[in-house]
Structure 1
Amino acid sequence: MEIQTYGNNVEITPALQNYVQEKVGKVGKHFDQHCQIRVTLKLDKTQHHVDADVTLAGKALHAKADGQTMYAAIDILADKLDQLVIKHKEKKHLHAPVPAPLGDNGA
């Protein structure tokens, strides 16, 4: 899993970088394949915004969160991403083809 962190009107400090890696990295436990997560931190006056794009094989997921502090917004985003990924995996599992039963061809 690859996590890229970008800032828009925000300086990405090592502490913020580590916090994003720690919180968003927990989403990786749901995958057995490679995924890429792009996290953008943004500051608008007094609101802290965090956006994340998760790129999987053939699928892209997006989540955003707002908070009073950047750390609170990252926490909310991590929870949203976790729910999105679980929902995606459940959909994928429900739509998987069911193998045909083995039989003796009606004889």
Structure 2
Amino acid sequence: MDYRITGKGVEISDAIKNYLEKRLDKVDRVIYDDELVSFNVRIEKDGKNQYVVKFNMNLKGNIINVEERHPDIYTAIDFASDALEKQVKKLKEKIKNHDHRRSVPVERPLEEPGEFSPSDKISSVKRVSLLNMDLDEAVMQMEELNHKFLVFRNVNTGEINMLYRDEDGEIHLLEMAE
């Protein structure tokens, strides 16, 4: 399985790379090569002397995000890889069941319990603090983290703004009006 690994405040040694690869073998067994669009691994050390392991996986448009923390880097990798494997299996089961239901025509109301709904596409929920920064800081943060979008409160206007990167790499600003 191909993935990109980055570190922040942590040297990614060969031992860590080998351990990570060994742990991700379990996930690799349940993913077909043509399903994986991108997979990013980020390992960092936070201010509380804990290692943070973040996985961001794109499986044909279904995004899976996992974040685990632990004082021991190898335990953090264990927790994150286990959580990723669980979410990948859950997503694949959901897709399998959805495709199966679609192939068997049955007349029933749309709102019947157990039907697939758009909210079922959400693979993880993460609550983050709304960052207060000016536009220049937001652009720099988005570039540094290599994110496709960033939501923040503009300290100059007090409004919530969103920066996003289009397919051509251009950055656009949305200013939310209340």
Alignment of 1:1-16 (within 5 A): 1-16=1-16
In structure 2, the residue matched to 1:42 is 44
Distance 1:67 1:87 in 2: 24
Distance 2:25 2:60 in 1: 18
Alignment of 1:9-28 (within 5 A): 9-28=9-28
Normalising by structure 2, we get a TM-score of: 0.53
Is the aligned partner of 1:75 residue 2:55? no
**CA-based RMSD:** 1.6
SS in 2 for 1:41: strand
Distance 2:5 2:18 in 1: 10
Runs of 4+ in structure 1 over 3 Å off? none
For structure 2, the 5+ residue unaligned runs are: 106-178
The structure that is helix-richer by fraction is: 1
In structure 2, the residue matched to 1:98 is 103
Distance 2:46 2:75 in 1: 15
- Contact 1:5 1:39 (C-alpha < 8 Å) held by counterparts: yes
Q: Percent same amino acid among aligned pairs?
A: 28
| Greater radius of gyration (CA) | 2
SS in 1 for 2:10: coil
Quote how far apart the aligned CAs of 1:25 are.
2.9
Q: Report the count of equivalent residues.
A: 101
Letter in 1 for 2:39: I
